[in-house]
Amino acid sequence: MTSYQKATLLTDGGVAKARAWKGQVCVVSLSVVLFVVLLISMATGPLDIPVNTVFSLLVSYIGVDQSVSPAVVQVIESIRLPRAVLGLLVGSALAVSGATIQGVFRNPLADPTLIGVSGGAALAAVTVVVFGHTFIAYLPGWLQNYALLIAAFTGGLLVTLLVSHIATSALGMSISTLLLAGIAIGIITMSGVGVMTYLADDTQLRTLTFWQMGSLGGATWGLVVAAATLIIPACLLMMRYATRLNAMLLGEAEAGHLGVNVQLVRRRLIIFSALAVGASVAVSGMIGFVGLVIPHLVRMTIGPDHRYLLPASALAGALFLLVADMVARTLLSPAEIPIGLVTAIIGGPFFIGLIIYRGQHGAF
């Protein structure tokens, strides 16, 4: 055990133990709920598939022979499951990155938009929507369908690198400069999106409006695998830095004295969250609210210890997006609501209610 790990544990034994227990309970119960909701979401949709059919299908995977009609199998395996898994990935990516960035900035109002990743991804994606027809035809066939995804991902990553480069001086990266650079670059990318919107024709305009509202409707297994190879490692890497993030909560100098290389940790965490968020935005468009508020909710419940905060945020973000997508798919069926609207419409008032409750009853 290194010195900073000891320090975070030994500050107040009783409180720390109680919180750790709470954190473990929270992670376990969230996992159980998530599994149940995943099953429910398999049985929820415009097409009527009863829960027991889903169970029969699951049992048939284990080897017990069950008669499930091929049409149902196809709906679940090629439409609902990839979409649900994509929702899980995107939800955890956004929530874990949100929690990490809030830790890096030591500010509960921070979210991944501050490091420019969403803005960069949006600008690149919108550029492809508007000007894509001029160059997509020259790309190799397998690339054409993914041009928008790849552009969004690289755009997000490049802008994040630019922001962190601007914020780094000879003395290292300063958080206040990072914040200012992030805000300034955010404004520039958004005006870039505005320029593209102006140049877009009528149909492109509708496409990019819908893209900005987010959707998991494009889910295929190929997309899920692509997203997973970026999101899962990035999230796991962020979780490895949990104790160092805890130390950094004490303050930059204090973390340094505890043996944390603050500059290095900060730079790496920014890159990891840019990878995770960039991949999410590329596959699902802009889904707001999750990155800012889910870590908040979790922190209000189990406290700021990142060892539990990060995994619990991942589970809560996945759960939230899964439920939001069920609403998006079924509420106006057979039509579909963009999921970004659902997350904001459910999430906003819920969060306000929680803040009011907290104000009246004190922290949980």
Partner 1 sequence: MSRFLCRQLSVVGLVLSLCGLPIQANEIISEYDTHSQPRRVVSTDGSLTEIVYALGLGAYLVGVDTTSTYPKAVTELPQVGYKRALSVEGVMSLMPDVVLTTDDSGPPIVIEKLQQVGITIQNYSASPDLSVIKDKIIGVANELGVPKKGETLWAKVSSQIESAISRPLPDKPVKVLFVLSFSDRSPMVAGSDTSANMMINLAGGVNAASTLMGYKPISTEALIGLEPDVILMMDGRNPTVSAGMLFSSPGFDQIPASVEKRLITMDGMMLLGLGPRTGLAISQLNQALYPSQSLASVKSERLQ
Residue from 9, 16, 58, 79 in contact with partner 1 (CB under 8 A):
79
Q: In angstroms, what is the minimal distance from the CB of 190 to partner 1?
A: 19
Residue 141 within binding range of partner 1, rule CB under 8 A: no
User: Measured from the CB atom, is 126 or 245 closer to partner 1?
Assistant: 126
Preceding amide of 311 cis, omega within 30: no
Among candidates 129, 39, 127, 117, which has minimal Cα distance to 76?
39
User: Measured from the CB atom, is 127 or 164 closer to partner 1?
Assistant: 127
Looking at the DSSP assignment, which residues form a beta bridge with residue 172? Answer: 169
What CA–CA distance (Å, rounded) separates 224 from 272? 19
150 touches 83 (CB < 8 A): no
What CA–CA distance (Å, rounded) separates 258 from 346? 41
Number of other CB atoms surrounding residue 253 within 10 Å: 9
Residue 336 within binding range of partner 1, rule CB under 8 A: yes
User: Measured from the CB atom, is 185 or 318 closer to partner 1?
Assistant: 318
Residue 50 within binding range of partner 1, rule CB under 8 A: yes
Tell me which stretch binds partner 1 (CB under 8 A): 104-112, 128-136, 210-218, 256-264. 210-218
Which pair of structure tokens corresponds to residue 160?
């994040």
Residue from 15, 46, 236, 348 in contact with partner 1 (CB under 8 A):
46
* Positions 80 through 119 that interact with partner 1 (CB under 8 A): 80
What CA–CA distance (Å, rounded) separates 297 from 343? 14
Residue 78 within binding range of partner 1, rule CB under 8 A: yes
* Positions 12 through 41 that interact with partner 1 (CB under 8 A): 22, 25-26, 29, 33, 36-37, 40-41
Tell me the Ramachandran region of residue 66: left when phi exceeds 0, alpha when psi lies from -120 to 50, beta otherwise. beta
User: Measured from the CB atom, is 33 or 184 closer to partner 1?
Assistant: 33
What CA–CA distance (Å, rounded) separates 264 from 266? 5
Residue 326 within binding range of partner 1, rule CB under 8 A: yes
Q: In angstroms, what is the minimal distance from the CB of 214 to partner 1?
A: 11
Question: How many Cα atoms occupy the beta-carbon half-sphere of 163 within 13 Å?
Answer: 34
Residue 191 within binding range of partner 1, rule CB under 8 A: no
Q: In angstroms, what is the minimal distance from the CB of 229 to partner 1?
A: 20
Q: In angstroms, what is the minimal distance from the CB of 33 to partner 1?
A: 5
Distances in Å between the Cα of 198 and the Cα atoms of 51, 133, 135, 202, 205 are 48, 17, 20, 10, 9
DSSP calls for 53-119 = HHHHHHHHHHT------HHHHHIIIIIIHHHHHHHHHHHHHHHHHHHHHHHHHT-TT--GGGGTHHH
Q: In angstroms, what is the minimal distance from the CB of 52 to partner 1?
A: 7
Residue from 139, 220, 232, 250 in contact with partner 1 (CB under 8 A):
220
Give the residues lining the site for partner 1 (CB under 8 A). Answer: 22, 25-26, 29, 33, 36-37, 40-41, 43-53, 69-72, 74-75, 78-80, 145, 198, 201-203, 206-207, 210, 215, 217-218, 220, 301, 319, 323, 326, 329-330, 332-336, 338, 364
